[in-house]
């Protein structure tokens, strides 16, 4: 049985997040945070978060398969609840509020490490207090 660990970094993209996956010795958050400073995607996009994964392959397997994944670790950002967004009464939040209601999202995170990126914050996701240089 062969087992390898990876960390996938997520950065703002045009329609979907840009992803860069690198091997990592173990699921070490501090090491992944350090590695994130080496990642720069198209248009200067910097990672807003990362996720660990483990892949395994048996002796008779042609290819490996993902056997374990971590929650998402966000590299800083501002967390907002649906109630907070409604309370601030910003007309620019209208579509975001509608999407949160339709999809039953309790919270979102807004990250501005490079380009602004907004997405749902799930219950098991982790927000790391990280100071990132701005572009």
10-residue block means of pLDDT along the chain (135 residues)?
Answer: 95 94 97 95 94 92 90 97 96 96 97 93 95 58
Alpha carbon of residue 121 to chain centroid: 9
Between CA 52 and CA 9 the distance in angstroms is: 9
> At residue 109, what are phi and psi to the nearest 5 degrees?
-125, 140
Q: Cβ(45)–Cβ(111) under 8 Å?
A: no
Q: What is the pLDDT of residue 4?
A: 96
In this structure, what DSSP letter does residue 115 have? S
Neighbours of 41 (CB within 10 A): 19
130 with 77: CB under 8 angstroms? no
pLDDT confidence of residue 133:
56
Confidence (pTM): 0.90
| Cα-Cα-Cα-Cα dihedral sign, residues 33, 5, 50, 70 | negative
DSSP 119: E
Q: What is the pLDDT of residue 13?
A: 93
Question: What gap in Å lies between CA 69 and CA 27, rounded to an integer?
Answer: 10
pLDDT in the model for residue 134: 53
pLDDT at residue 60, rounded to an integer:
83
Q: Cα–Cα–Cα angle for 62, 64, 69, nearest 5°?
A: 165
């Amino acid at each position: 049985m062969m087992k390898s660990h990876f960390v996938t970094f997520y950065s703002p993209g045009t329609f979907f997040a840009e992803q860069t996956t690198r091997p990592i010795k173990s699921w070490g958050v501090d090491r992944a945070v350090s590695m994130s400073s080496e990642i720069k995607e198209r248009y200067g996009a910097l990672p807003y978060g990362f996720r660990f994964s483990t892949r395994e392959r048996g002796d008779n397997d042609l290819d490996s398969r993902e056997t374990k994944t971590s929650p998402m670790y966000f590299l800083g950002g501002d967390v907002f609840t649906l109630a907070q967004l409604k309370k601030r009464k910003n007309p620019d939040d209208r579509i975001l509020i509608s999407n949160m209601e339709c999809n039953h999202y309790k919270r979102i995170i807004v990250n501005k490490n490079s380009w602004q990126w907004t997405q749902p914050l799930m219950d098991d996701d982790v927000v790391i207090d990280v100071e990132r240089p701005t572009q």
